[in-house]
Amino acid sequence: MTALTRESLLAVLADGREHSGEDLARTFGVSRAAVWKQIGKLADWQLEIEAAPGKGYRLARPLELLDAADLRRRIAGRTGPVRLELHTEIESTNGRLLARPPPPGTLAVCIAEYQTAGRGRRGRRWSAPFGTALCLSASWQFERTPPELAALTLAVGVVVRDVLARTVRVDARLKWPNDLVWDERKLGGILLELIAEAQGGCHVVIGVGLNVAMPPALLRRLSDWPRGAVDLATATGAVPSRAALAAELVVGLDALCRDYAATGFTPYRAAWRAADFLRGRSVTLHEPAGEIAATALGIEADGALLVETAGGARKRVLAGDVSVRAP
């Protein structure tokens, strides 16, 4: 008989159907009070549990739980060596891989159903209820620092956009330097972190966060964008398979990391420009010295953002935050 834990209880409730407390107690060989106690603990993962007197418990939305063996089958024969970790709960997938660099030639992948300390750019907190987003990080050891390393985030954006187009038929736009956009709303983001090594190489960790099927109330407050955030369930009209998305992202990021030292940003530049969300828009540059009003002109060959200020001066932006100004 399976022991009653949060994980085992959630595996039963994941189908979104009603399960009576009596049936659950019988399944796990425990009291109904023990079931009720574990139900309460699911709230720690921000899960919405509906309890109907005389009927039982059900999740507000069914969940597709990820399975490591299934993911390995999906990527088998399509990548080089991959070290895959799947966690029910973790502080940060990026943090995990920063502390555990892979050997050269191996892509390390860490996926979590729930992050307790997920991070976005500039240390911003990024949080999503259990199983409602895709929280995936990949890391790679470059023996020599690759050309156009600063543009690697943009190349990752192209890879993620291609996966979304092929897997769920979502035509996302790319907002410099690290956001994915659909219908003027934030769909996901990329966080790239690296550690330079004394021998001239570097350890790069690529974090990808995608909103898959989140509670509508959370989407409204998840982003400070004028129109807020959006998820793939809204964009497609159905809840897509997180397993399919995760597998395709691993395959795409594996190819990117293995090729980037030789190719740099060149193979990705045209695709990024075609999906550029900012080009031609009035934007605000948020810099330490203050805010600057400008018009985005697109990206240059090395991935830098080119803008024209109100005074007509052109400025290359290599790093920083950029927001769209209201008309």
Residues that are catalytic: 121, 186, 325
Give CA–CA dist 327/323, Å, rounded.
Answer: 12
- Angle at CA of residue 32, ends 27 and 35, nearest 5°: 70
Give CA–CA dist 69/173, Å, rounded.
Answer: 32
What DSSP character marks residue 304? P
Q: Which amino acid is at 131?
A: G
User: Which has the closest alpha carbon to 85: 74, 75, 77, 96?
Assistant: 96
Residue 148 Cα to chain centre, angstroms: 23
Q: What are phi and psi of 73, to 5 degrees?
A: -65, -40
Phi-psi domain of 237 (left: phi exceeds 0; alpha: psi -120 through 50; beta: other): left
Residues 6+ apart with CB under 8 A from 300: 306, 316
